[in-house]
Chains A and B, each alone.
Chain A
Amino acid sequence: MAESYRRSQWSNGLFILPYLSVFAVLLVFPLFWGAWLSLHKVDLFGPGRFVGLGNYTRVLADPVFLQALRNSIIFVLVSVPALVILGLFLALALNKTTRTTSFLRGLFFSSSVLSVTIVTLIWRFVFIPGDGLLAVISEQFGIQPVNFLSTSGWSLFSVGVATVWWCLGLPMMLFLAALQQIPNDLYEAAALDNASPWRVLTRVTLPSIARTIMLVTIIQIVMQFQLFGQAQIMTNGGPNGTSRPLVMYIYEVGFVRWDVGKAAAASEFLFLIILVAAMAQYVISSRKSEVSE
């Protein structure tokens, strides 16, 4: 009896083994290996030598890293609020069950299923000078067309526009799901309480989905710090590195210049930034929910 019981305990573990092994091999192991690599001077051809925190000081002294860090932070500061606000706006507008809204929900979400290559291709058609959509429109109005992808300032903005368009589906869907959880009688009570639409939004709707707003913000911060594909294909980080994000810097250092140790050190910085951002949001949200419950 006891024997079979113990054996059944073992067999229970088998159910999570497939996931655990993938998790260990693809996430836990690389996490520690990355930390180990960041302490070594190493290239792609063999074992390196231990350099302590040397890679970290080299990264921090690298103006290209600092520029990429700045680009990534600006990108997150602009794209995340845009995604949250636009996602929320779309969700509020589409939070009805008519045929039109169902169709529009599907339409807005459909961009999310495209691959990054297709997304950037579409937006290149919009932004490229000469034959691009925006260039054609500007010329129609007699305005000198902006060279979006190769003008400092505009290039990162263009990448941001493509990213927001691509990523908007998920925030919208999460907000819609949260909105549908709000009991209808709260709105009825608010109607009997003479609440204006603005008061209903700010005092009933938004407080009811505060947790989802926090969740979407965290998810988007984590995702947008990992910006790579769009920048790589649309602008290749240019001009003068003004649209080069952190991940692209890591890629270039590691796989173009083969300075794997330094790339690993930069990765640890990125890891730390995302961790801090996520934890900060988590702490804020849990403190807020303590007050509200």
Chain B
Amino acid sequence: MSASIEITNVTKRYGALAVLDDISLSIKAGEFVVFLGPSGCGKSTLLRMIAGLEDVTAGTISVAEQRVDTLPPGKRGVAMVFQSYALYPHMTVAQNMSFGLENIGLPKDEIERRVQQAAATLEIAHLLDRKPQKLSGGQRQRVAIGRAIVKEPKAFLFDEPLSNLDAALRGRTRLELAQLHARLGSTMIFVTHDQVEAMTLADRIVIMHNRKIEQIGTPMEIYRRPASRFVAGFVGSPAMNFVPLRSVAANGRTVKIGASGLGEIHAAFRLPASFSPEGASLGIRAEDITVLPAGQTGIALKAEVVERLGDRTLIYGQLADGTKLTAETDGRSEARGGDTLQIALDTTAIHLFDAAGTAHHSEGD
């Protein structure tokens, strides 16, 4: 069973402090949506408002076209997996999973059937008689997910569920969550500040920043066509390069861009007439910069630090005027700190950000 979720003009305030400001979001049934943003952006608060753990100051929330924001948490048909797992410490795994079902008066054999089924799905059947204290972090995580599954909810809510796991386990659990979503087909909302989790799990990512939604889109849309300078800088590692603009001159579809240290660049853009280079910047990802072979001349980049990641090499350097720039090249690069390299930009992968941070994307691709 899965359901659509409709969030309409939702605002959250604690006294004078606004945490979320007029958020609207529509989630389709069966969709895996990730709320991504830095700490304090309100993403967890939004999730907790859907769960019913926080009141809505203004606006409405509907699950399966039924308004739920006035209902208590248990009546909303959603299940939540907490960051701390929040397992009942004095109950066994089986009791943890069946507690919610007992509370709604489900028959014993039905509870038993669901618990066994979920335990089999999550491969925790051998742990059913144990107490949470006797479980490892990964096992607790599975029990917490199992407790959600047995409820057969309309939607699953995950509040940074992987952040307490070690790196290896996090990767594996991420994969299993994706498989679980594929098998159950349920609506899932997942809150994280980890962009890798967001990119790998999401059908759509909701990027949140400063009480607002910055962008909603598929992982590749977010990565390739970030809506704002914040999104461009937040998603992707290493972060996108930003170079201050000096001049912009449109000539039909081609724009002549003057940027600090990069000289003059010609790229295909459809910029509004009001676009001003004042406070604007050019953005380009490290992988869209090519290090030219010896003998070719492009833009000079003085390498300061070279990071070898095996499959690729990151070069942190300075342009002629001191502007910082990060370039990526293949793992066999022999560049060293102190070398001056010649680089070229992929002009089809350039983004321009006006003073307000709004993005304009090159139309070359």
Using a CB–CB distance below 8 Å, which chain A residues touch chain B? 183, 185-186, 188-196, 199, 203-204, 207-208, 210, 292-293
Contacts and interface: CB of A to CB of B under 8 A. Distances in A.
A292 B90 contact: yes
B194 to A, nearest CB: 20
10 contacts: A188-B51, A190-B88, A192-B79, A194-B103, A195-B99, A204-B88, A207-B91, A208-B89, A208-B90, A210-B90
Given A192-B78, A192-B79, A194-B74, A183 B84 contact: yes
B160 to A, nearest CB: 12
Interface centre among A185, A186, A199, A292 (most CB of B within 10 A): A185
B266 interface: no
B89 A195 contact: no
Closest 10 CB pairs of A and B: A194-B74, A193-B100, A185-B86, A207-B90, A189-B86, A194-B103, A191-B73, A192-B73, A292-B90, A185-B82
B174 interface: no
Central interface residue in A185, A193, A292, by most chain B CB within 10 Å: A193
B90 A196 contact: no
B100 A188 contact: no
Given A188-B53, A189-B82, A193-B103, A203 B74 contact: no
A185 B72 CA distance: 16
Contacts, number: 68
Query: Main SS of chain A's interface residues?
Result: helix
Contacts of B53: 188, 191-192
B77 to A, nearest CB: 10
Contacts of B88: 186, 189-190, 203-204, 207
B37 interface: no
Most A CB atoms within 10 A — which of B52, B84, B90? B90
Interface string B138-167: 000000000100000000000000000000
Contacts of A183: 84, 86
Interface of B: 51-53, 72-75, 78-80, 82, 84, 86-91, 99-100, 103-104, 131, 133-134, 147
Nearest to A189: B86
Contacts of B74: 191-195
Nearest to A188: B53
A189 B89 CA distance: 12
Nearest to A289: B90
A56 B318 CA distance: 95
B86 A191 contact: no
B103 A188 contact: no
Nearest to B78: A192
B84 A194 contact: no
A195 B103 contact: yes
Contacts of A185: 82, 84, 86
Contacts of B86: 183, 185-186, 188-189
A196 to B, nearest CB: 7
B103 A199 contact: yes
B103 A196 contact: yes
Contacts of A293: 131, 133-134
A293 B99 CA distance: 19
Given A185-B82, A185-B84, A191 B90 contact: no
User: Which of A183, A188, A192 has the most B CB atoms < 10 Å from its CB?
Assistant: A192
Nearest to B89: A208
Interface centre among A189, A194, A210 (most CB of B within 10 A): A189
A188 B79 CA distance: 11
A186 B99 CA distance: 12
A194 B82 contact: no
A193 B104 CA distance: 8
Nearest to B79: A192
Contact of B72 (A191, A199, A203): A191
Contacts of B52: 191-192
A194 B104 contact: yes
